[in-house]
Structure 1
């Protein structure tokens, strides 16, 4: 069984998300803002973040993945859904659980740009730089991590651990290995 090493407590996450919501509220005051959550991982973070933003927002979701059941990106980003609301001439904030390689966000920005939004920015719960393959950086983020495979608070490993209220580094023993 892999070991879970604490990274961020539930209370630390709540504090960081509240501050982030205040900053986004100030930055987009009097603007049309659309939040687009990247499923499945961002649903917990986005739910808390929306409650911390004190202005009207539209919400949509898109499904994108490059991990499958592995602990590393395949490099092949799959976008399974399209938007259900019109984002033309609106400010778009992509809500992501973790910005890791940057490949998923890079692909999503390209896809969303075709809809001619006024702007596209990125908000990630975790900005992890260990495996970054692009020059992308989130415009908003709660926590920066250099390395490790993180789970909890919506982040998963093979569809497990999303339900944990805090964020942990999933540490595999040498005998377990990783997929």
Structure 2
């Protein structure tokens, strides 16, 4: 994707569906959830890159119990707006997670394939517990059975951008969630 101007880039934003203020309020609640569940237990927040890096940073600032962070990268979109159905782990964890309560911090759950594969991989490694917190959930698109422990927002079947989510690596820097105008 190549943009010749900011105006051309802005044309990719159909409409804002979740405001910056709404995101902030729900992140505070998600932080309170984490703080209420884990009090002094070793937790490891695992961000699934690239889309969840902003969400992870904001969640981490709301966590008031001891925690560490780690990153994984997986992809299934390969430059399009539809999941390919193939999940590729492109960066794995460095930690031995067996002594941690692991919380996967995910940006969006669509078909569920990517996250389902990540959960399988992490369960084999024997964490003390494993939970999933997602910014966005699109349950009507699910092709695998998958439930989260905490979803900030449930959205219809829109292709969304902003707050870490991209189209062709662009739009991650928007402070809100918008529907992409194809």
TM-score range, shorter chain: over 0.9
Give 1:162 deviation, angstroms.
Answer: 0.3
Indicate the structure with greater helix content. 2
Other structure's SS at 1:70 match: coil
Give 1:146 deviation, angstroms.
Answer: 2.0
Gapped regions of structure 2 (runs ≥ 5): 1-10
* Candidates 85, 92, 102, aligned match of 2:95: 85
Match in the other structure for 1:69: 79
Match in the other structure for 2:20: 10
* Candidates 139, 159, 169, aligned match of 1:149: 159
Give 1:147 deviation, angstroms.
Answer: 1.5
Task: Give the TM-score, by structure 2 length.
Answer: 0.91
Other structure's SS at 1:61 match: strand
Q: How many residues align?
A: 172
Gapped regions of structure 1 (runs ≥ 5): 173-179
1:74-99 Cα distance to aligned partner (Å, 9 max, x none)? 01000012211121132111111001
* Candidates 41, 50, 54, aligned match of 2:64: 54
Matched, 1:140 2:150: yes
Distance 1:170 1:163 in 2: 14
Match in the other structure for 1:168: 178
- Root-mean-square deviation (Å): 1.1
User: After TM superposition, which residue ranges in structure 1, 4 or more long, deviate above 3 angstroms?
Assistant: none
